[in-house]
C-alpha cells in the first residue's frame, strides 16, 4: 500500500450537496438506481440526525487512528470524514477531542467502519456519527494508512469528494460527477411520492395504484378464500 495523503480533492456544488442531504438516504438511494448504500450495520450513535457533505476518505489500520489526524487538516467546511479500515475493527478511533477539532474546521459528521467513543459528548455537541460499533477502546498512532484515496467502506467503493448522505436509515454515497443528475432524479421522485402518499392515505391500494393485479395473476398468484383450501 502506498501511504499517501492527497491534499486537494474536487467537491460537488455546495447547494447540490445540501439538497441531497435534505432528501435523505432512502430517496437518494432510489434516485440513483438503488446503488451506493453502505451495509446496514452502520448505525447512527443518536437518532434523528440527517446530513450531507463531501467525503474526506481515510484508510486506517486496525486500532490506529493516526490518519484521522492527518485527514482533519485537509477538511473544509461541509466535509464528512469517512473512515475505512484495512480489516474489521471496532476500536474507538474517534472521540470528543477529534470531534472538537473537526467541528472547528466545519466538518459535519463522521462515517467510520470501526468504533467511536464519547458518544454522549458527541450527541451534546451535535456531531453525528455513523459507525460499526461504539467502543471506548483507545487507539495508537503507529502505522500509516492513506487519506483521500478511493476506499471500500462498509461494502461501498467511495472516492474522495463523493457526496455522503446519512440519516436514521444509514448512509448512501453519490458519485461526485453524478450529483446533479441524482439530485434532479431524487427531487422528481419525492414530488411523485407526495402524490402517491396522498392516494394511499385515502385508502387506494398499492395493488391498484401501481396496477399490480395483472402481473400477480400472470406470475401465478392464486387467491384462496380460506386456509382450508390450501391442504385440499
Positions 94 through 153 that interact with a copy of itself (CB under 8 A): 95-98, 100-101, 103-105, 115, 117-120, 123, 133-138, 140-144, 148-150, 152
> Does residue 183 interact with a copy of itself by CB under 8 A?
no
Rounded to whole angstroms, the Cα distance separating 109 from 79 reads: 8
> Does residue 178 interact with a copy of itself by CB under 8 A?
no
Half-sphere exposure of 230 (CA within 13 A, CB side): 4
For 92, which DSSP code?
B
- Rama region for 170: left / alpha / beta (φ>0; ψ in -120 to 50; rest): left
Q: How far is the CB of 18 from a copy of itself (least distance, A)?
A: 18
> Does residue 181 interact with a copy of itself by CB under 8 A?
no
Q: How far is CA 220 from CA 12, 114, 216, 223, in A?
A: 47, 46, 6, 10
> Does residue 230 interact with a copy of itself by CB under 8 A?
yes
Candidate list 23, 66, 111, 162; residue touching a copy of itself; CB under 8 A: 66
> Does residue 195 interact with a copy of itself by CB under 8 A?
no
Q: How far is CA 193 from CA 27, 30, 116, 188, 210, in A?
A: 10, 12, 36, 9, 12
> Does residue 14 interact with a copy of itself by CB under 8 A?
no
Per rule CB under 8 A, count of chain residues that contact a copy of itself: 104
Which DSSP string do the residues of 37-76 spell out, in sequence order?
BPPTT-EESSTT--EEEEEEEEEE-TTB-HHHHHHHHT--
Stretch that binds a copy of itself, among 12-20, 180-188, 196-204 (CB under 8 A): 196-204
C-beta closer to a copy of itself: residue 80 or 122? 122
> Does residue 172 interact with a copy of itself by CB under 8 A?
yes
Q: How many residues does the chain have?
A: 232
> Does residue 223 interact with a copy of itself by CB under 8 A?
yes
Residues 33-62 that bind a copy of itself (CB under 8 A): 33-35, 37, 39-40, 43, 46-48, 50, 61-62
> Does residue 91 interact with a copy of itself by CB under 8 A?
yes
Rounded to whole angstroms, the Cα distance separating 86 from 132 reads: 14
Q: How far is CA 45 from CA 75, 110, 124, 131, 146, in A?
A: 22, 10, 12, 7, 25
C-beta closer to a copy of itself: residue 15 or 41? 41
C-beta closer to a copy of itself: residue 16 or 32? 32
Amino acid at each position: 500500500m502506498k501511504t499517501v495523503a492527497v491534499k486537494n480533492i474536487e467537491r460537488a456544488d455546495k447547494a447540490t450537496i445540501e439538497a441531497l442531504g435534505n432528501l435523505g438516504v432512502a430517496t437518494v438511494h432510489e434516485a440513483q438506481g438503488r446503488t451506493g448504500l453502505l451495509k446496514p450495520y452502520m448505525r447512527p450513535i443518536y437518532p434523528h440526525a440527517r446530513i450531507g457533505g463531501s467525503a474526506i476518505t481515510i484508510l486506517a489500520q486496525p486500532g490506529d487512528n493516526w490518519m484521522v489526524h492527518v485527514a482533519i487538516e485537509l477538511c473544509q467546511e461541509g466535509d464528512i470524514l469517512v473512515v475505512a479500515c484495512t480489516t474489521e475493527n471496532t476500536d474507538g478511533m474517534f472521540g470528543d477531542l477529534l470531534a472538537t477539532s473537526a467541528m472547528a474546521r466545519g466538518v459535519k459528521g463522521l462515517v467510520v467502519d470501526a468504533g467511536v467513543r464519547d458518544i454522549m459528548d458527541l450527541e451534546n455537541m451535535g456531531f453525528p456519527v455513523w459507525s460499526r460499533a461504539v467502543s471506548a477502546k483507545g487507539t495508537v498512532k503507529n502505522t500509516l494508512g492513506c487519506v483521500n484515496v478511493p476506499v471500500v467502506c462498509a461494502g461501498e467503493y467511495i472516492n474522495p469528494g463523493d457526496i455522503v448522505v446519512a440519516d436514521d436509515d444509514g448512509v448512501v454515497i453519490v458519485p461526485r460527477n453524478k450529483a446533479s443528475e441524482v439530485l434532479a432524479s431524487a427531487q422528481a421522485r419525492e414530488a411523485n411520492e407526495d402524490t402517491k402518499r396522498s392516494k394511499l392515505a385515502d385508502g387506494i391500494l398499492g395493488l391498484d395504484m401501481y396496477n399490480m393485479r395483472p402481473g400477480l395473476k400472470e406470475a401465478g398468484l392464486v387467491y384462496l378464500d380460506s386456509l382450508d383450501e390450501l391442504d385440499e
